[in-house]
């Protein structure tokens, strides 16, 4: 976890090194999404589904869980979609096609550029991406096979050139869409990308 700002949260976490507690609570919720089949009735590829995922993961942590951000945010030298244009961007993303792998990844890249929430975008959006892949092409990403540095670099470059992230994720596709081990390892790896490594999803649920 980098020295990002500590947001107001329901767990009264005030120090970065205490955010392991946030990992424990939200990662347990991520495990529940799979074990309780909570995404089964949600449409693939819509922002409302991502919003539901984010709210479920973080409702016990952040007051803004599932709510569109009203502030502008950036990572390094990259500025995500301006808050004043965010709703319009999300409306356009909802309309993007998603009938094949390339279209799905292009939609994922645009959602990452939108970055609709103040915190927790990466973790919730990767679950959203797998939900689309599962429903549209019968595949999911085995995130445990996706190197952290390669992934972060490919995502950083994706707004300009998305071929790298397409090649990287295509090489990690699996048809084990209902495999619990693949999902749980994927959640752990997704959290690892963001610097959360204290708990294993399998041990929390």
DSSP 54-118: HHHHHTTT-TTTTPPP-S--EETTEE---GGGHHHHHHHHHHS--SSHHHHHHHHHHHHHH--SS
Q: What is the pLDDT of residue 9?
A: 57
pTM of the predicted structure, to 2 decimals: 0.91
Q: What's the pLDDT tens digit per position in 66-88? A: 999 999 999 888 899 999 999 99
Coil, strand or helix at 118: coil
Angle 61-63-69 from CA coordinates, rounded to 5°: 115
Pairing of strands 78-79, 140-141: unpaired
Tokens of 88: 């319009």
Q: Please give the Cα distance from 115 to 86 (Å, whole number).
A: 9
Tokens of 48: 């409302």
Domain range annotation of the chain: 16-195
Q: What's the pLDDT tens digit per position in 13-70? A: 445 656 788 899 999 999 999 999 999 999 999 999 999 999 999 999 999 999 999 9
Architecture of domain 16-195: Orthogonal Bundle (1.10)
């Amino acid at each position: 976890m980098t020295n990002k700002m500590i947001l107001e949260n329901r767990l009264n976490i005030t120090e970065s090194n205490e955010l392991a507690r946030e990992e424990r609570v939200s990662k347990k919720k991520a495990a529940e999404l799979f074990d309780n089949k909570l995404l089964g009735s949600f449409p693939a590829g819509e922002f409302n589904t991502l919003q539901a995922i984010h709210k479920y993961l973080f409702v016990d942590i952040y007051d803004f869980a599932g709510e569109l951000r009203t502030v502008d945010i950036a990572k390094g030298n990259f500025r995500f979609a301006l808050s004043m244009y965010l709703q319009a961007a999300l409306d356009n993303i909802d309309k993007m096609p998603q009938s094949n792998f390339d279209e799905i990844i292009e939609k994922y890249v645009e959602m990452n550029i939108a970055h609709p929430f103040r915190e927790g975008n990466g973790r919730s959006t990767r679950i959203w991406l797998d939900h689309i892949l599962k429903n549209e092409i019968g595949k999911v990403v085995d995130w445990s096979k996706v190197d952290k540095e390669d992934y972060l670099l490919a995502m950083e470059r994706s707004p300009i050139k998305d071929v790298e992230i397409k090649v990287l994720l295509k090489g990690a596709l699996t048809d084990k869409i209902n495999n619990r081990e693949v999902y749980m390892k994927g959640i752990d790896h997704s959290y690892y990308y963001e610097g959360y490594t204290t708990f294993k999803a399998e041990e929390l649920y």
